[in-house]
Structure 1
Amino acid sequence: MRILIVEDNLLTRVMMERYIEKWGYTFYSVDNINSALALILTEKIQMVITDWIMPGGNGTVLCQQVRALKLPFYTYLILVTSLEDSQYAVEGMDAGADDFIRKPLHFDELHARIKAGKRVLALEKKLTEAIEIINRDLSLAANMQHSLLPIATSNIQGISIDWLLYPSTSGSGDTFNFFRLDESHVGFHIIDVAGHGIASAMQSSILSRLMSPDTTCSNLLKFSSPEAPYYALRSAPAVITNLNQDFQTDVNNILFFTMIYGVIDTISRTIDLCQAGHPYPIFLPSGKPAEFIIGGGLPVGVIIEATYQSVQLNYNSGDRLFLYSDGITECESVSGEMFGAERLQWFVNETRHLKISEVISQINELISSWRGGNYFEDDVSLVILEFC
């Protein structure tokens, strides 16, 4: 362990050097805080033992400056002083000191304080290693979750998609997808799991898997039917009703979620769309103003008796459908104002002449500018479907 001694009294400094060397530690010693800071910036100093009163700046100033450096490792700070008033101890701790020892020095006591600090540093090292492992695992989980999302600018049966996603943490409680159900049907969904963090991200990943189509067997989106050659598609309300039966909140599961699920019939050019507590989607017909699609039921998992109904939309070439989470509409500006659904509707109208990839780029810039950066308190997601 490397210890830095900051002491302007030569005799005291020499005595500390001898004892610290005797105890088996590597040491550096200086007589002022400027030299101390220079060493801290160039050497990995793990512990600093500093006098309080020195020419050119006192020990509390050094403590404040060390903490302001935000070093990638922790530096344990011990203040040494002849000041008696307990208020000085409070002042030292407020400045960032970890421990406090009075003069005249008793070197057995100093040795004990150093060993106590060494234990703290060992625990800090273990904690740092644990955090690194957790962050690595979270990064891998986030990559896996991202792999479940549709490919931006992809096209299925004449329907194009593009999207924006900003997780508020390493993982996201928001998820969405867009997939072929059969030769004439395309499915899509957007889900927002309540809360933030690992639990919400895991729940959204589970739901994304469940909402993936499988043409070889019955699943949530399809079921075996004697009337159909192989299977029949479940209606949008039926899919959400089944999810509501399976994901009821209780003491073991408190993560309800909002969602929209839709089935597009590319032959009849209709959309069977069901909304469960999610922000109202925005439909942009070609040549007409954008409108909110009003309707739907409670979030999934709130009450088992909840019922759901769908809205039927007819679409034409050039029409667009916008799905989004409340992370956009409830995004607060630097002054605390919410972005709001009306502002989003205005944006949809104003950018109707752009390609959907350009619309995504524009909303990315707008929402980041509104927020004052790319850090969001809630997951932010927006999906655009364009019909050809």
Structure 2
Amino acid sequence: MMRILIVEDNLLTRLMMERSLKKWGYEVVAVDNIDAAIRIILEDKIQFVITDWIMPGGNGIELCQQVRALNLPCYTYIILVTYLDDAQSIVQGMDAGADDFIRKPIQLDELLARIRAGQRVLDLERKLQENNLRLTETSDKLLAAHELINRDLKMAATMQRSLLPSAAAQGQGATIDWLFHPSTYLSGDIFNFFPLDEHHVAFYILDVAGHGIAAAMQSFTLSRILSPDTNTGHLTYSVPEDPGTLLVRPAHSVVANLNQQFQTNTANILYFTMVYGVIDTLAQTIELCQAGHPHPLYLQAHKPAEFIINGGLPVGIIGQASYGSLLLNYHSGDRLFLYSDGITECESPTGEMFGIERLRLFVEQTRELAMRDVIRELDGQIRSWRGGDGFEDDISMLILEIN
């Protein structure tokens, strides 16, 4: 039941309106001055006021102004009752905060119609507040969920970064350094470098198609499978007749094995490109298998940087795909650059790609720098080329230097 405050100094008029409103089903509070009216509005939170314009000790205009100045949590609907009917008086009342007018002598059917009109306004305002409250609660829940997701993503990003080799890591006869910038929290790129036995060191870089969580989960799975701690006798090694020994698998055999395990289907469309290699420090060779990945760059002393082209399909596209290896005879000081297409396809603000030739020239121009400085220079160039830190694709590079 809605409560209505009547502010009227004339006793007969006040009683007449009070009796009529109660008859119409409203709860009524009646006073004869604006001070009492303000007190009741504050204490009882009444939202509907019918007030006379002219009263001793303060008029209806002043009451309107005081109510609007209170900045109440809910809207208060005010009807001014007056003998005045000129346009200037109506403008004055509206400017003071009145919502409607009714002229004296009061016609009861008109009064009821105006009350019902005001009630509809208050009902709409109440529904709007309820909707806003629900939206606020929903927004708070979504914000909390978003913050939780962000925390989880940041934790997952930290875990993913922990899978990468330590900067300036060393193995038998080789040292590495790397650059890694996911386009979002998580990346579909992953790379590693690890010893297989006393004179073999393996390395790889791979790029899972797509971005975000699904690609990152696939790259995480692949990194665990390729890890020497988890694949003994399985992927990077083959077990001969003598169970006490392990043989290092050729690079193309490792990639072919991955291709059999990770075929795309309706439930899994996350194929990936990769380069897998094995350094043999006794034979002084680097065996490379390239599966749809950008061509590695090879930098030898007193020679221009060149792309190593050893094509093959991405892993997971065709189950019967065949893969081959290419063998390089290395010398001390040679460098091998493995990178994702996020570098060569990085676009400037004008839409121009960084490109493979610009990358090749960069490798040549920085050949005298230490690997850490090469990475730092490349990081600066890519950021400058992009015009900021926001990359559309994952950025990764692994550099190996033969000792």
Which category of TM-score, normalised to the shorter sequence, fits these structures? 0.7 to 0.9
- C-alpha spacing 1:346/1:22, structure 2 compared with 1 (3 Å): farther
The 2-side partners of 1:20 and 1:144 are apart by: 58
Letter in 2 for 1:146: R
Matched, 1:328 2:323: no
The 2-side partners of 1:159 and 1:19 are apart by: 81
List runs of 5+ in structure 1 lacking aligned partners. 1-13, 24-28, 37-46, 50-81, 83-101
Matched, 1:359 2:374: yes
**CA shift for structure 1 position 306:** 0.6
Residue aligning to 1:206 = 221
For residue 331 of structure 2, give the secondary structure of its aligned residue in structure 1: coil
Q: 1:238 aligns with which of 244, 253, 259?
A: 253
| Normalised TM-score (structure 1) | 0.74
Any conservation in 1 of the 2:295–2:307 contact (CA below 8 Å)?
Answer: yes
* Deviation digits for residues 116-145 of structure 1 (CA, Å, limit 9, x no counterpart): 110011001100111111111111111111
Residue aligning to 2:272 = 257
Matched, 1:303 2:287: no
**CA shift for structure 1 position 362:** 0.1
Any conservation in 2 of the 1:168–1:379 contact (CA below 8 Å)?
Answer: yes
Any conservation in 1 of the 2:224–2:230 contact (CA below 8 Å)?
Answer: no
Letter in 2 for 1:333: S
Matched, 1:185 2:227: no
Letter in 2 for 1:127: L
The 1-side partners of 2:235 and 2:383 are apart by: 36
**CA shift for structure 1 position 107:** 1.4
**CA shift for structure 1 position 157:** 1.3
Matched residue pairs, number? Answer: 305
* Deviation digits for residues 169-209 of structure 1 (CA, Å, limit 9, x no counterpart): 11110000000000000000000000000000000000011
| Normalised TM-score (structure 2) | 0.71
* Deviation digits for residues 303-333 of structure 1 (CA, Å, limit 9, x no counterpart): 1111000110011011000000000000000
Letter in 2 for 1:184: H
Residue aligning to 2:358 = 343
Any conservation in 2 of the 1:152–1:162 contact (CA below 8 Å)?
Answer: yes
The 1-side partners of 2:241 and 2:263 are apart by: 31
Any conservation in 2 of the 1:271–1:314 contact (CA below 8 Å)?
Answer: yes
- C-alpha spacing 1:302/1:215, structure 2 compared with 1 (3 Å): closer
Residue aligning to 1:111 = 126
**CA shift for structure 1 position 108:** 2.1
- C-alpha spacing 1:311/1:210, structure 2 compared with 1 (3 Å): same
The 2-side partners of 1:193 and 1:293 are apart by: 21
For residue 145 of structure 1, give the secondary structure of its aligned residue in structure 2: helix
- C-alpha spacing 1:154/1:278, structure 2 compared with 1 (3 Å): same
- C-alpha spacing 1:216/1:129, structure 2 compared with 1 (3 Å): closer
- C-alpha spacing 1:147/1:20, structure 2 compared with 1 (3 Å): farther
For residue 288 of structure 1, give the secondary structure of its aligned residue in structure 2: coil
The 2-side partners of 1:163 and 1:321 are apart by: 12
- C-alpha spacing 1:236/1:19, structure 2 compared with 1 (3 Å): farther
Residue aligning to 2:290 = 275
Alignment of 1:89-108 (within 5 A): 106-108=121-123
Any conservation in 2 of the 1:296–1:310 contact (CA below 8 Å)?
Answer: no
For residue 353 of structure 1, give the secondary structure of its aligned residue in structure 2: coil
**CA shift for structure 1 position 274:** 0.2
The two structures, once aligned, show a CA RMSD in angstroms of 2.7
Letter in 2 for 1:305: Q
The 2-side partners of 1:280 and 1:30 are apart by: 76
* Deviation digits for residues 11-47 of structure 1 (CA, Å, limit 9, x no counterpart): xxx99x8699569xxxxx9989xxx9xxxxxxxxxx9
Any conservation in 1 of the 2:190–2:205 contact (CA below 8 Å)?
Answer: yes
Matched, 1:155 2:179: no
Any conservation in 2 of the 1:213–1:219 contact (CA below 8 Å)?
Answer: no
For residue 312 of structure 1, give the secondary structure of its aligned residue in structure 2: strand
> Runs ≥4 in structure 1, deviation > 4 angstroms?
17-23, 29-32, 102-105
Letter in 1 for 2:371: I
Moved more, 153-162 or 327-336: 153-162
Any conservation in 2 of the 1:19–1:107 contact (CA below 8 Å)?
Answer: no
**CA shift for structure 1 position 296:** 2.3
**CA shift for structure 1 position 226:** 2.0
For residue 156 of structure 2, give the secondary structure of its aligned residue in structure 1: helix
Residue aligning to 1:130 = 145
**CA shift for structure 1 position 215:** 8.5
Q: Percent identity?
A: 53
Q: 1:169 aligns with which of 165, 184, 196?
A: 184
- C-alpha spacing 1:206/1:216, structure 2 compared with 1 (3 Å): closer
For residue 161 of structure 2, give the secondary structure of its aligned residue in structure 1: helix
**CA shift for structure 1 position 104:** 9.9
List runs of 5+ in structure 2 lacking aligned partners. 1-37, 48-65, 76-98, 100-116
The 2-side partners of 1:278 and 1:30 are apart by: 72
Alignment of 1:59-74 (within 5 A): none
- C-alpha spacing 1:20/1:344, structure 2 compared with 1 (3 Å): farther
Bigger radius of gyration: 2
Q: 2:235 aligns with which of 217, 220, 231?
A: 220
The 1-side partners of 2:351 and 2:253 are apart by: 39
The 1-side partners of 2:221 and 2:151 are apart by: 21
- C-alpha spacing 1:238/1:216, structure 2 compared with 1 (3 Å): closer
The 1-side partners of 2:261 and 2:43 are apart by: 68
For residue 106 of structure 1, give the secondary structure of its aligned residue in structure 2: helix
Any conservation in 1 of the 2:193–2:201 contact (CA below 8 Å)?
Answer: yes
Letter in 1 for 2:305: A
